[in-house]
Structure 1
Amino acid sequence: MLTKIDNTLKYGKQHGGLGIQILYPGLVMPELNDTGFSTIGRIDQAHITPGTLIPMHPHRDDEILTYLRSGKVLHKDSEGYSDIISNQKLMMMNAGSTFYHEEKTLKEGDVLEGLQIFIRPETGGLQPQVQFYQLSEANSINQWRKIAGKRNDYPLQIRSNTWILDMQLQQGEETFLPEFAIENSSFLFYLFKGDIQVNTNVQLSTGESAIIENEDPIFTANETSDIVLFITQKNATYFEGGMYSGNLHK
């Protein structure tokens, strides 16, 4: 089964230099009575102008991946970390029981384009921690790259059955779901930027996505496209009371 999620399902917010498009992937399947899809709680696609400050604010019981494609941001948090995040330096904030952070886009950088991804942990009240990872290249050309997951072969660790990969698929190239996917997997294929044909009957444009279950489609790039792939399991254990990843229907 392949279920397309178009951009009309997103919620837009604009405040000063901060603009975000918010996706609650479960809304495409109202029968689930969950705004998330298993462990995947919420995905924000951000457009932030240089020099914008997002002041110190709290998070709780969310696993938060900051994934940038352009721009740079200075990060500070309640665990004492301060670092610059970019399209080659990723950050995972495992918020746990209590966590605060602020972000300021650098004036000398480009407009920030990226995702802030809220994943549900297995349980609430975990110890907060922060992880950073330096990519060797900004893009992984025509092959899946492991970003974050609940296995030691993923550079950033998520505390639930969730795995995140990315790829830049060049114009005219094809790809499939990864062969090393977890057994009994469900997928969320998120098109950060570009134009993708799925099989012969579904087209995805920038910001759109698709939930894929029990199917192995062919993805063809009509133009060079940046893709983020989420793997989860519908029977996974997760905590749905996170500040941002939690089920809004509860």
Structure 2
Amino acid sequence: MTQGVSAAASTLQRPALWTIPVYTGSAEALDAKAHALGERLALIASRHAQARFASSLAAEDMVIADAILRSPAAVRERFSIFTLQTGRLHAETLAVLDAIDTRYGYAVQAYEPDLQAVEQFVAQYGLNGFYDSVEARKACCGVRKVAPLNRALDGAQAWLTGQRREQAVTRLDLPFEEQDAARGIPKYNPLTDWTEAEVWAYLQRHDVPVNALHAKGYPSIGCEPCTRAVRVGEDVRAGRWWWESKDTKECGLHEQNIKQH
């Protein structure tokens, strides 16, 4: 009996985790948002013969992937989708690659970090040295994410991301189109003005495959050791690099566009 009471008390004390938000808008409003997204993709396609979409395989990026892969051929063929296989992703994240292939018949290209660069990072900082300082964490992101991104974007005329203004204090002024000064190409954020509820309403309406971690309290998903579930009321990116200040929570992919070789 005592064990049962203790177990019940333990369950009650567990913090409530983030859950998929409920969309309270109309179906017409959501359809208008989706139509506007399609128009944005068509605009990008009209400007660039080779635009590349950097997908984290999380919720926002699955909205864009679905919209691209269901677009008319004249638009779809202007885009290629890639992801950064950092070597430290969750198994659930990697499973999304198979889900995309199964659903759309499309193979997302994966870019991996240079093995020697990873070994040099580990030798200098330790395998999990990114916990020790912002400098070390950004060095890890530089090796595992930024350098592969640079290879992925070599020769691209433009690139796309799944960023939204609502996600973080570092993204409050995020425009639809900006200039990647380091690479000399435009960078587009087609979901910049979307809300979290709109993202999930779209995914559910179109039955888009999603990362299984979302159902376990993960609204934003990165590398496994740098991501945790988020409690109710926390910022949606609170689970990313949770040991740092919210003002430093960028990996370098979208911060200052510093190109590294």
Shared fold (TM-score greater than 0.5)?
A: no
More helix by proportion, 1 or 2? 2
Q: Give the TM-score, by structure 1 length.
A: 0.26
User: Larger % of strand: which?
Assistant: 1
Larger radius of gyration: 2
Structure showing greater relative contact order (alpha-carbon pairs closer than 8 Å, 6 or more residues apart): 2
